[in-house]
Structure 1
Amino acid sequence: MGVGNVSPGRARQQPVRAASTDVARLAGVSQKTVSRVMNNEPYVRDEVRDRVLRAATQLGYRPNGAARSLLSGRSRRLGVISLGTRLYGPMTMLVAIERSARRLGYAVSVAHTSEDDQHGVADAIEGLLEQGVDGIVVAEAIDEGQITVTVDVPVLTIGRFPGLVAARRIRSAEKSDRSGSVATRHLIELGHTEIRHIAGPPRWWASRDRADSWRAALLEASLPVVEPVAGDWSCESGYRAGLQLAEDRAMTAVFVANDDMAIGLIRALQDAGRQVPGDVSVIGMDDIPSARFLRPALTTIAQDFDAVATEGVGLLAAEISEPGAVERTLHEVDPPLIVRESTAASG
């Protein structure tokens, strides 16, 4: 049947989309106030903001993102560069960044890089800039040498990334990850003096930093340092490293750079006839969801991904709104130690 023969009574009626003027009328405010609330701008009283949001919800109002971008000159989109991996840490951080961005009214474009790509970060930044993002988050953790980018949007780096140079950069302080120190001090306080380390891949800044802070804690306590055994973050690599370390009869404790490798280590030690924590104490890093259900339950260093993402993305959004108003640096504290069953006093 041709379009011209369709009965008007049977034609599908398109719902009328609510406009900002409708929200303003229902909330009893100006259209400008509605715009300020929808753009998450400051200096709107909480009572007025709540009234506008309730009216918008009641009417099913959604801001027209394209029109808002044209008026503000901003896309309300952040670009995020993340390592293309299923590892718990990077994936959890990415989810936390996306959640934080949505809360602030930003959409997210994600560019994944790979460990084998020598120019992954630089290429990803160029690709995101072509999409017109308002700011960029680099949650990348691998050393790619010095990367200089010339961009007019702010760049947030989460974690240490000394090779990146950008005009408007928000960063965590360029200090080493202190998790290795926290973990090693815990083992020293339990009376251990022969403390080994299973490190992650050497190109990862997190791996280097955790090894450096483990080494520094041992040297500060005048304890011997035996070179770490390197893994690749997987349980399997932790198991292989564990079989090697099981032959070290002087060893009584191990700090492992992530929980997955710690799981492999514990299995290897048990297969070799060494009990955890009776013969060897083990502490991991990340506090993965399964850590507390292991036997023994895994002592570990936790990471508050949500807190870091919330603060970092908030600083990035502030820099987008008010460029260069203040120097913006992520706050850093020692990560929390979660003591469970896999560490005990040296026998």
Structure 2
Amino acid sequence: MPARRRRQVSMADVAQLAGVSAQTVSRVSNGYEGVVPETRERVVAAMRELGYRPNAAARALKRGSFHNIGVVMFDLTATGNTSTLAAISESASSHGYTVTLMAPQSRTTASVSGAFDRLSELLVDGIILVMESMPDDAEGASFTLPDVEHLVVVDSALGPDHAVVDTDQAAGTRSAVEHLLALGHATVHHITGPAYSYSAQRREKAWREVLTEAGRRVPEPAHGDWSAGSGYQAALTLLKDPSCTAVFCANDEMSLGLLHAAQDLGRHVPEDLSVVGFDDIPLAADFAPPLTTVHQDFAGMGRACMARLVRMMSTGVAETGQELVPTSLVVRASTAPPRKH
């Protein structure tokens, strides 16, 4: 004989157990003010005891909000992206929002539009787009985002027409390169991130500017793809030059590859070679030696994104312009003055 289906707990059941009206239960479940604290606690206790779950869709229709935001992100393998996603999720939760993630498999204009359409169907209140590069098939400035009422863009070069939040890439890079020059290095070599990345482009541009302003030689950069393996391969080329005594890597993982290559080639860090990374990933302090790096405030990024999105959703007023989240240089044991010969 088939098992009897359990009857769903109703609002009336909660009201009876708590000794209040169904209207009071409704007010508590919808978060309305004006319910006496003792009564609210009694209703919540009854909900927990009975296992009552308010209908989320019905509550959303009443208050005009689904308390759900969408995040569109193309690369879930990059450490910076996953850290940004974690920060956004944590901040969203603190504001009482859930997060729906869209991670398109291809980086095309159609995939961007498709992700936005799908999120619209899922009834999100706003969207955060983590856009590390233009879509592969976009033609520069001709690319435009789908029309979305509440949108914040992270790591973008789309200009002042959107609400953009980004790490202060230039200031972070400047602190790294100036640190190495202040130690006495004649110049600073560079391992870049992938050419398509806005972050990599900004870090390379700032590196060139600092060296040029200081009247130092600007060496030919080596190119990586954010991975430790690419950092290792790039380092094999850089370290053939005996005058290379300092390297700024566009992220920490490539710095790890560089440290590995230096060890294999008999170059001691920091006695023969100083290394600075970017990100300050949790393992950076455990590298051998511990890595000097630019700290990205991913938690601050999440808070800034949600603050702008919540303001737009609550006021109905669109925001534009870029907000930069400050960085800081964390000096550890991978940098030192160059060895005197």
* Distance (Å, rounded) in 2 between the aligned partners of 1:54 and 1:249: 74
* Distance (Å, rounded) in 1 between the aligned partners of 2:12 and 2:173: 54
* Distance (Å, rounded) in 1 between the aligned partners of 2:294 and 2:13: 48
Q: 1:227 aligns with which of 220, 225, 247?
A: 220
Q: 1:73 aligns with which of 64, 70, 86?
A: 64
The alignment's TM-score, normalised by the length of structure 2, stands at 0.83
Q: Which runs of 5+ in 2 are unaligned?
A: none
Q: 2:94 aligns with which of 97, 103, 114?
A: 103
Spell out, residue by residue over 1:121-146, the C-alpha distance to the aligned partner (whole angstroms, 9 max, x if none): 33322332233321110112122334
Counterpart in the other structure of 1:196: 189
User: Does the 8 Å contact 2:276/2:335 carry over to 1?
Assistant: yes
Question: Number of aligned pairs?
Answer: 329
After TM superposition, give the deviation of residue 266 of structure 1 in Å. Answer: 1.0
Q: Classify the secondary structure of the residue corresponding to 2:269.
A: coil
The alignment's TM-score, normalised by the length of structure 1, stands at 0.82
After TM superposition, give the deviation of residue 17 of structure 1 in Å. Answer: 4.7
Spell out, residue by residue over 1:41-66, the C-alpha distance to the aligned partner (whole angstroms, 9 max, x if none): xxx69x97898478536632644211
Q: 1:37 aligns with which of 31, 52, 62?
A: 31
* Distance (Å, rounded) in 2 between the aligned partners of 1:24 and 1:214: 65
* Distance (Å, rounded) in 2 between the aligned partners of 1:247 and 1:210: 24
After TM superposition, give the deviation of residue 318 of structure 1 in Å. Answer: 2.0
> Equivalent residues in 2 for 1:273-284 (5 A)?
273-284=266-277
The more displaced of 126-135 and 238-247 is: 126-135
User: Does the 8 Å contact 1:199/1:207 carry over to 2?
Assistant: yes
User: What value does the CA root-mean-square deviation take over the aligned residues?
Assistant: 3.3
> Equivalent residues in 2 for 1:195-274 (5 A)?
195-274=188-267
* Distance (Å, rounded) in 2 between the aligned partners of 1:153 and 1:19: 38
Counterpart in the other structure of 1:148: 144
Q: Classify the secondary structure of the residue corresponding to 2:103.
A: strand
Q: Pick closer, same or farther for the CA change 1:312–1:226 going to 2, 3 Å.
A: same
After TM superposition, give the deviation of residue 178 of structure 1 in Å. Answer: 2.8
Q: 2:158 aligns with which of 155, 163, 169?
A: 163
| Equivalent AA in structure 2 for residue 37 of structure 1 | G
Alignment of 1:127 with 2:118, yes or no, is: yes
Identity %: 34
The more displaced of 90-99 and 329-338 is: 329-338
Counterpart in the other structure of 1:41: none
Spell out, residue by residue over 1:274-328, the C-alpha distance to the aligned partner (whole angstroms, 9 max, x if none): 1111111001111122211121111111112112102211220221121118x46
| Equivalent AA in structure 2 for residue 131 of structure 1 | L
Counterpart in the other structure of 2:331: 339
* Distance (Å, rounded) in 2 between the aligned partners of 1:263 and 1:19: 61
* Distance (Å, rounded) in 2 between the aligned partners of 1:48 and 1:170: 40
* Distance (Å, rounded) in 1 between the aligned partners of 2:85 and 2:260: 30
User: Does the 8 Å contact 1:76/1:133 carry over to 2?
Assistant: yes
* Distance (Å, rounded) in 2 between the aligned partners of 1:281 and 1:108: 41
User: Does the 8 Å contact 1:162/1:174 carry over to 2?
Assistant: no
* Distance (Å, rounded) in 1 between the aligned partners of 2:265 and 2:109: 39
After TM superposition, give the deviation of residue 183 of structure 1 in Å. Answer: 0.9
Q: Which runs of 5+ in 1 are unaligned?
A: 39-43
> Which structure carries more relative contact order (alpha carbon 8 Å, separation 6+)?
2
After TM superposition, give the deviation of residue 118 of structure 1 in Å. Answer: 5.8
After TM superposition, give the deviation of residue 104 of structure 1 in Å. Answer: 1.9
After TM superposition, give the deviation of residue 75 of structure 1 in Å. Answer: 2.8
* Distance (Å, rounded) in 2 between the aligned partners of 1:314 and 1:254: 36
Q: Pick closer, same or farther for the CA change 1:37–1:191 going to 2, 3 Å.
A: farther
Q: Pick closer, same or farther for the CA change 1:18–1:187 going to 2, 3 Å.
A: farther
| Equivalent AA in structure 1 for residue 119 of structure 2 | L
* Distance (Å, rounded) in 2 between the aligned partners of 1:78 and 1:342: 41
Q: Pick closer, same or farther for the CA change 1:322–1:185 going to 2, 3 Å.
A: same
User: Does the 8 Å contact 2:113/2:146 carry over to 1?
Assistant: no
User: Does the 8 Å contact 2:246/2:273 carry over to 1?
Assistant: yes
| Equivalent AA in structure 2 for residue 302 of structure 1 | H
